[in-house]
Amino acid sequence: TRVTSIYDAGYAVFATTGYGLFRSTDGATTWVQVHFGATNRERIIRQVLARPGQPRSLLMATGAGLFESSDGGSSWTKLGVFPAFSVNHLVFDPTDPSYLYVTVYGGVFRSKDGGKTFERAYFSNLKARGNVLWLTIDPSNPQRAFAGTADGLLVTDALRTAAADDWRLLAGLATGNQAFGIVEADPSNPLHIITMTELPLPKVNYGSAKAQSLLLESWDGGKTWGLLMSGRSYGGLRWFQIVMPDA
């Protein structure tokens, strides 16, 4: 089965797949499946994330709801929130971990108490634009965030209080029929943004390039964009991460 992401919790490494969650405690030499799911959608694992300062308290985003583990991933409990939502991405506010953001097929939810209760932070009546695939918070400003949707890249400057009207399409990008799977802000330069997008291939003639095949970057906060890499030469791009060198 295809691995969709890897999460290193320190004491273990987790691999999310479309057929459950796997864990390794010996440096990825051997793997054990620690979550299978009761339904096909619950077996689709998109992300595992530890609560800040609590490495064995884990959250897991699945195709049918949000799960929690208090024992380092050995057992999982489905939370009552979003029981039927397809959960795409989880983000804690790096400056205040009581704020947790969850992106789903239906918008963005915000928790101000570490995940006990939630409220809507964004929704759209447009089906594709309401499918929020990714959220990243500006490292220099916890109120500013970028949301990648199935139809456009959004930005807000009021994340902790934002509602639907507080998000806008980011300038400089044509947004029709483009799914923005990942977006990241450079910790060393908040004006430097990188996103991975699925561009309508017939319009740009990228041949056999697959989904999420374009890596775009902006050096002016999203006003203008340039092509960093394409799937034309490297195959379908699925993931990227900005890694800062050790101080």
Tell me how far apart the alpha carbons of residues 202 and 31 are, in angstroms, rounded to a whole number.
40
pLDDT at 205 over 60: no
Reported as a single tens digit per residue, the pLDDT across 49-72 is 999 999 999 999 999 999 999 999
Helices H / strands E in the chain, number of each: 2, 20
Specify whether the CB–CB gap between 14 and 48 falls below 8 A: yes
CA dihedral defined by 156, 162, 163, 167, rounded to 10 degrees? 0
Q: Is the dihedral of CA 232, 233, 237, 243 positive or negative?
A: negative
Tell me how far apart the alpha carbons of residues 91 and 200 are, in angstroms, rounded to a whole number.
28
| Residue 164 binned pLDDT confidence (cut-offs 50, 70, 90) | confident
Reported as a single tens digit per residue, the pLDDT across 100-141 is 999 999 899 999 999 989 999 999 888 888 899 999 999 889
For residue 17 the two structure tokens come to 């797949």
